[in-house]
Amino acid sequence: MADPNCGDLAAGIPVDCDFLPIGGTEPNILLIKKTEWDLAVTNATITFDGTSPNLITATVLTSGDKGYLIEGYENQTKPIVTGIKRASGYRYKQTIDFLAIGGKAAIEKIVKDMGNQRFVVIYKNLFKDEDGEGKYKVFGVEAGLKRPEGGAELDKYNDVDGVWMLKLESEEFALESTPQYSFYNTDEATTDAEFVTLQSAAA
């Protein structure tokens, strides 16, 4: 019979004294439409590790589909994962705040065109281990993230100098069952190259 608590701890967590974790994120994130992500999963061009199923080992979208690069500043991308106890088991709410920098009409069109879609989001940590693992993290793999009310704000008088402040998050009825996913393929250089192939140009 399966564990009714939906968990089975099978390993401990060591401390790597040579690569102690640090906070912070790199500037840019990638938004991928959830429908296009799911199609690639169905086509088996996005693959998951058999031993660690929260590890993504390849991210190749279907021909013609691309992620959308949002360029920002270091540490202005702010991912948060919150554990929530539900009647059906423990779930995780994923939230990511980021900036859309610039005052061009094209940027405001992108803010509008995000609409009410669901997205998968890939962001980059400043921290990584010696092989580059831990650099890329992925939100929204299971249910996707959407823009909540107040998820697009422009305030010309705040401390971010009048740029758009954007938010994507899990919906309360569509939380994730996994805190977050990692993306790592072979080594850092291979993973970096695959991340680049996912991208369409920034506006």
Residue 201: is its pLDDT beyond 60?
A: no
| Within-domain flag for 178 | yes
Distance between CA atoms of 92 and 85, rounded to whole angstroms? 9
| Within-domain flag for 122 | yes
Q: What ranges in the chain are assigned the alpha helix state H?
A: 34-42, 105-114, 188-197
147-182 pLDDT, tens digit per residue, is: 999 888 887 666 556 788 899 999 999 999 999 999
Of the candidates 80, 84, 162, the one whose C-alpha atom is nearest the C-alpha of residue 123 is 80
Of the candidates 163, 165, 68, 79, the one whose C-alpha atom is nearest the C-alpha of residue 113 is 68
| Within-domain flag for 18 | no
Structural domains of the chain, count: 1
| Within-domain flag for 5 | no
| Within-domain flag for 6 | no
| Within-domain flag for 67 | yes
| Within-domain flag for 186 | yes
Averaged pLDDT for residues 91-111: 89
Distance between CA atoms of 126 and 24, rounded to whole angstroms? 6
Q: Say if residues 147 and 111 touch (Cβ distance below 8 Å).
A: no
Range of the domain at 127: 25-200
37-52 pLDDT, tens digit per residue, is: 999 999 999 999 999 9
Q: What is the pTM of this model?
A: 0.89
| Within-domain flag for 68 | yes
Distance between CA atoms of 184 and 158, rounded to whole angstroms? 37
